[in-house]
Structure 1
């Protein structure tokens, strides 16, 4: 897999679009605004008191009847998927979307106009790496009622396949695939939303498609078009005449692709999975996708990612030749047995250090802690982490043998697991702030048996001793 560092992106300047909300029929103003790193996608309701902001999150989804709708603290956003798909499709990670209504303008029923606006605003790289979840095993969700299913499997990049089956003569089985997200603009963005005639009749009866006209939806005629239905449609859409084309769609527009319906379903999948809040490196396969199954899968992914990151244990290759062996460590640190609690340095940069200790039954502290149940004292785990941090701190001076490091402060110490004879401890320390004036502030974690065993924030001072 590629190890190239990919930076987060936002837009260079704000840009505004105007249109009509599909379900309200009201004119809507939408403004895309630049956002800082790690901001993600968020909507701001400028028509509400205090102009509240709501994060685009699967955990807030409340309804998926005619689009993906979410709400938090009384702030709601409806039909978010086409806007979010445009952001994902252009590789934009951070953007604030201002609206003066609950739903974005429907435009032509696709992501095309949002993509054009975002490109016009310009895309800017930020000084932060992308937040990406790498799929290592299949993850799936199935809606037993409908047979809809989504799964993601390992892949070198984000890929999506949508397989749809509408079980009708006019629109049967269709498939669409996006092998690389950079092809979104050319192959997926202009795929428009669609409806079946029986759905359209119901929506009109319930007043749920006030902003819709026959220029922003493909209508598949899946039942006999009765004269009275024809008249209602002509009135609803302000048309003098309406007819059915030989391919079974109303004559309001021409298909962009034979499989435009499948491509639009793929577009919806991308927009809905944006609610995970993290880029995905994996191939998504969506079978009979819909907003409900899409967002349920997004919730599962968001919760899985959160849980895994909370329990994340980095992997280090202990079979590689160490950066520093015990002799090199002793040439740098003044500690000696029985208080030298570090065997190797595995990695080091100007911002981090990784050390290792093999814990054996021969450790002198096991004689009294405890004779019948040997457990490594937590204070010695902290000391061992500090010794690894001392290697990093002393690497900043030309003559480390003439310096010592002294604790100034220890904060947020937590002990998660017991450390016993036979364990291999890995210490992973990262600078919280750059070393200045001899002050070293680090976040330290100790791992054993693929588990976090202890952690702390350590502050130490590098002090020069008298030359010998």
Structure 2
């Protein structure tokens, strides 16, 4: 069953402080059109530059996943992105007047609540989903962190963390259904160890931190000098260690809250792949570095598979249009009729087929000793498919002729030889207007893409 893309119904604004800068931040979540994906807009800068939430823009992963495009930065992007993915949202514009979203309570809880308050609506386009067919993995040899992605009926995530400390030990967390994100994962807060807090304070970081937006695990003795620094930084008269080893009086939502927050981070970081994932993620000792490195690897794999994707058609099934019906529509005739069958036809696309035989007229002169179908005739065949598409919109196609207007981005990938079966797919780039058909066309043979082109043609009534 097909699924529709989703965005929010209305915009909504949240305010807070940035974890590391301590600056007041205003962030507005806005609806976005189909196929927009997730993107940030820095409205505090001239021109409100946009940084798409893509793995290719990750520059650093210290204390969060930080993006940069054309010198414009977004810090700690993962919590708000996780909220969007967790609510099954595909398209969202995140306007922000600073470099980092507000930390809120260190989780995705408030972002989830805001998105739900804004309302979630379906859009008139199907989702794009990457279906995992084989195991994909990435391992950081230095840290031992590893992410494995395997086939599954839905998006699932399991995290396994081991920090080598008695206070935290080994923890696991699993999300079997993304629909459970709100209840099981969203409220899991970020955490740190005492020795890390000391380092961050010395480097003038976490200016926006307090004991309400970060769990602090005490993994060392708390000296008087450290106590004083923490009291000053967190604006508290007294700081204590509770029996569960957590600084001050913060109460855990779950015993494995640290592992759940790591799972939240994995979902937010893998949002940077730019497409939904249908598969199971197993993350061993995940962190922003390994998460985003894996996201980059997966994004490249998806891009390559898209480029090399070959649609499958049943060539033995009765055609939608046979050669005689094609000639009732197209003005072309042998030897210049380059398609034998039409397999699919809608108001937006067409699929055609041609059997290439040694008897083709063009092989007489095109390398008789090593016959190869001319590339220009492959383009002509794709264009004839487009002709069927556009002529099917008029009641009397026999009274029209089709003419090329332009072709762009023509590429030939493989040779086409006698014995090959060519299939062509042409999809409209823009709706047909005034008899003009603007389309993206592909030709396939032997399980490979052999040619592609952006074509424009127009029909004109015979004089």
Give the TM-score normalised by the residue count of structure 2. 0.92
Farther off after superposition, 375-384 or 290-299? 375-384
1:69 paired residue number = 66
Contact 1:273 1:298 in 2 (8 A): yes
Quote the offset at 1:191 in angstroms: 0.3
Matched, 1:370 2:382: no
Deviations 1:144-166 (A, max 9, x none): 00100112112222221111111
Deviations 1:294-326 (A, max 9, x none): 111111122222233233322223243332334
Aligned with residue 117 of structure 2, among 115, 120, 123: 120
2:274 paired residue number = 277
1:411 paired residue number = 407
**Distance in 2 separating the partners of 1:144 and 1:18:** 40
CA 1:318/1:41 → structure 2, altered by over 3 Å: closer, same or farther? same
Quote the offset at 1:332 in angstroms: 4.7
Q: Secondary structure at the match of 2:209?
A: coil
CA 1:19/1:442 → structure 2, altered by over 3 Å: closer, same or farther? closer
Q: Secondary structure at the match of 1:224?
A: coil
1:160 paired residue number = 157
CA 1:100/1:441 → structure 2, altered by over 3 Å: closer, same or farther? closer
Matched, 1:87 2:87: no
**Distance in 1 separating the partners of 2:98 and 2:385:** 55
Quote the offset at 1:134 in angstroms: 2.1
2:147 paired residue number = 150
Contact 1:64 1:291 in 2 (8 A): yes
Quote the offset at 1:211 in angstroms: 1.4
Aligned with residue 306 of structure 2, among 309, 332, 337: 309
Deviations 1:2-45 (A, max 9, x none): x31322x2222222222121112222222222222222222222
2:445 paired residue number = 448
**Distance in 1 separating the partners of 2:288 and 2:438:** 47
Q: Secondary structure at the match of 1:120?
A: helix
Q: Secondary structure at the match of 2:233?
A: helix
CA 1:306/1:199 → structure 2, altered by over 3 Å: closer, same or farther? same
Contact 1:431 1:440 in 2 (8 A): yes
Quote the offset at 1:327 in angstroms: 4.6
Please list every run of 5 or more consecutive structure 1 residues that lacks an aligned counterpart in the other structure.
none
Contact 2:218 2:241 in 1 (8 A): yes
Quote the offset at 1:331 in angstroms: 5.2
**Distance in 1 separating the partners of 2:436 and 2:199:** 69
Quote the offset at 1:254 in angstroms: 0.8
**Distance in 2 separating the partners of 1:80 and 1:443:** 35
CA RMSD of superposed structures (Å): 2.3
Matched, 1:237 2:234: yes
2:427 paired residue number = 430
Matched, 1:26 2:23: yes
**Distance in 2 separating the partners of 1:427 and 1:462:** 24
Deviations 1:60-116 (A, max 9, x none): 222111111122222111111111111111122222222222211111110111111
CA 1:194/1:336 → structure 2, altered by over 3 Å: closer, same or farther? same
CA 1:390/1:24 → structure 2, altered by over 3 Å: closer, same or farther? closer
Deviations 1:252-286 (A, max 9, x none): 21110111100000001111111222222221111
Please list every run of 5 or more consecutive structure 2 residues that lacks an aligned counterpart in the other structure.
none
Q: Secondary structure at the match of 2:294?
A: helix
1:388 paired residue number = 385
Farther off after superposition, 390-399 or 354-363? 390-399
**Distance in 2 separating the partners of 1:437 and 1:101:** 47
Quote the offset at 1:410 in angstroms: 3.9
How many residues of Structure 1 are paired with residues of Structure 2 in the alignment?
Answer: 461
Deviations 1:326-372 (A, max 9, x none): 45445555655434432222222222221111111122321221211
**Distance in 1 separating the partners of 2:105 and 2:359:** 74
CA 1:435/1:57 → structure 2, altered by over 3 Å: closer, same or farther? closer
Contact 2:366 2:373 in 1 (8 A): yes
**Distance in 2 separating the partners of 1:455 and 1:155:** 32
Aligned with residue 174 of structure 1, among 140, 148, 171: 171
CA 1:251/1:424 → structure 2, altered by over 3 Å: closer, same or farther? same
Give the TM-score normalised by the residue count of structure 1. 0.91
Farther off after superposition, 65-74 or 309-318? 309-318
Q: Secondary structure at the match of 2:401?
A: strand
CA 1:88/1:387 → structure 2, altered by over 3 Å: closer, same or farther? same
CA 1:253/1:324 → structure 2, altered by over 3 Å: closer, same or farther? same
Q: Secondary structure at the match of 2:154?
A: coil
Q: Secondary structure at the match of 1:146?
A: coil
Farther off after superposition, 237-246 or 323-332? 323-332
Contact 2:2 2:126 in 1 (8 A): no
1:5 paired residue number = 3
Contact 1:215 1:252 in 2 (8 A): no
Contact 1:150 1:286 in 2 (8 A): yes
Q: Secondary structure at the match of 1:169?
A: coil
